[in-house]
């Protein structure tokens, strides 16, 4: 499984540990899109890199970490083909995959501790989309990519 990861300064402290966790514990091929230091950066610059990797098929899933996860989710979700959400619990991660076929999980580096974020990532990457009635709903969401408001 190919996973793209990035953060801003608010998520930088957890990014390396989460990348290592995915590589060693979950056998993922992880690509780190930055940043390389914890200096202040603009989260949209990093969200778009991961979102484009997922949208293009270069990555199967994306993991983004900022202070709350919210800004990264808003930015990543602007890329066609991406279903991103800020997730704060393993239960939400499971439902995000099962019901919404989420492909980019956005985490809080300030309000959720590393061990919980590891469990969120593990749940996100190991839960399958249920399809069925949810397939129709996801198709309607994806159709919004091509509609003009």
25 falls within a domain: yes
Average pLDDT value over all residues in the chain:
97
Give, in degrees to the nearest 5, the angle at Cα 92 between 88 and 96: 120
Confidence of residue 64 (pLDDT cuts 50, 70, 90): very high
Place 146 in a pLDDT band, splitting at 50, 70 and 90: confident
pLDDT tens by residue, 34-56: 999 999 999 999 999 999 999 99
Q: Are strands 104-108 and 61-66 parallel, antiparallel or unpaired?
A: parallel
CATH of residue 121's domain is: 3.40.1400.10
Could you give the 3-state DSSP secondary structure of residue 65?
Answer: strand
Asked whether residue 7 is domain-assigned, the answer is yes
Alpha-carbon span 100 to 129, nearest angstrom: 7
The boundaries of the domain holding residue 58 are: 2-143
pLDDT class for 145, splitting at 50, 70, 90?
confident
- For the stretch 85-121, pLDDT in tens is 999 999 999 999 999 999 999 999 999 999 999 999 9
Has residue 149 got a pLDDT over 80? no
Enumerate the known binding-site residues. Answer: 8-9, 67-71, 100, 110, 133, 137
Detail the residues annotated as belonging to a binding site for D-ribulose 5-phosphate: 8-9, 67-71, 100, 110, 133, 137
**28 occurs within a structural domain:** yes
pLDDT band at 148 (very low <50, low <70, confident <90, very high): low
> Measured between alpha carbons, how far is 137 from 29 in angstroms, rounded to an integer?
30
Count of domains for the chain: 1
66: annotated active-site residue = yes
């Amino acid at each position: 499984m190919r996973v793209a990861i990035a953060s801003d300064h608010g998520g930088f402290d957890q990014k390396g540990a989460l990348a290592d966790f995915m590589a060693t514990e979950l056998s993922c091929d992880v690509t780190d899109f930055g940043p390389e230091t914890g200096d202040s950066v603009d989260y949209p610059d990093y969200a778009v890199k991961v979102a484009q990797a997922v949208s293009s098929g270069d990555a199967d899933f994306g993991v983004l970490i900022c202070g709350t996860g919210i800004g990264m989710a808003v930015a990543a979700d602007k890329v066609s083909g991406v279903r991103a959400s800020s997730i704060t619990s393993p239960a939400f991660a499971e439902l995000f995959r099962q019901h919404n076929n989420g492909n980019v999980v956005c985490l809080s580096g300030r309000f959720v501790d590393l061990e919980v974020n590891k469990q969120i990532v593990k749940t996100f990457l190991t839960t399958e989309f249920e399809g069925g009635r949810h397939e129709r709903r996801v198709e309607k969401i994806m159709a919004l990519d091509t509609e003009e408001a």
